[in-house]
A = this chain, B = another copy of it.
Amino acid sequence: MDRSARLASLRRIIETNKVASQDMLLKLLQDEGYIVTQATLSRDLKHLKVGKIPDGKGGYLYTYSDSANKGGSDKSLAEDFKRGYIGIDFSGNMAVVKTLPRHASTVAFAIDNLHIKEIVGTVAGDDTILILPKDGVKRQELIHSLKSRIPGFTENL
């Protein structure tokens, strides 16, 4: 099942490109290997609460508005996290999160946007994320901070 990976790509595409129509989005998705119909894309956009607004230069622009997604965001971020999460390990002071294939960027995005104060940032590959803890944060403190922000989080499944 590819839907959540597709949604993650879609979000990234919209956040990093100026796209004026669903047809154009369809092509960009295609470039990443996702072949769907316009109908499905329309549904995906609705799911992500992506809006279409005039760009002030005579055209239109699809936008992923954080504010539109703010309400209840922690909840859906935690869901994003759990959807892809497999397990966590440590290497030196860094945490290594394993995810389902292609889910790394979505999970990392969720971590970033939960704004956990013990975490400085993340780096995501395809199924692996590096979490960079703030200076002096111990492994157990990091685990605890994740537990406190992601209901049902456990160290390993």
Residues of A within 8 A of B (CB): 45-54, 56, 60, 63, 65, 67-68, 71, 73, 76
**B50:A51 contact, CB within 8 angstroms:** no
A47 to B53, CA, bound (A): 11
Query: A49–B54 contact, CB under 8 A?
Result: yes
Known: A65-B65, A67-B67. A53 touches B54 (CB 8 A): no
> Taking the full assembly, how many copies of this chain does it contain?
2
Minimum distance in angstroms from A127 CB to a CB of chain B: 27
Q: What are 29 contact pairs spanning A and B, CB under 8 A?
A: A45-B54, A46-B54, A46-B60, A47-B54, A48-B54, A49-B53, A49-B54, A49-B56, A50-B53, A50-B54, A51-B51, A51-B52, A51-B53, A51-B54, A51-B63, A52-B52, A52-B53, A53-B53, A53-B65, A53-B68, A54-B68, A56-B68, A56-B71, A56-B73, A56-B76, A63-B68, A65-B65, A65-B67, A67-B67
- A144 vs chain B, min Cβ distance (A): 29
Question: Which residues of the other chain, B, contact A56 by a CB distance below 8 angstroms?
Answer: 49, 68, 71, 73, 76
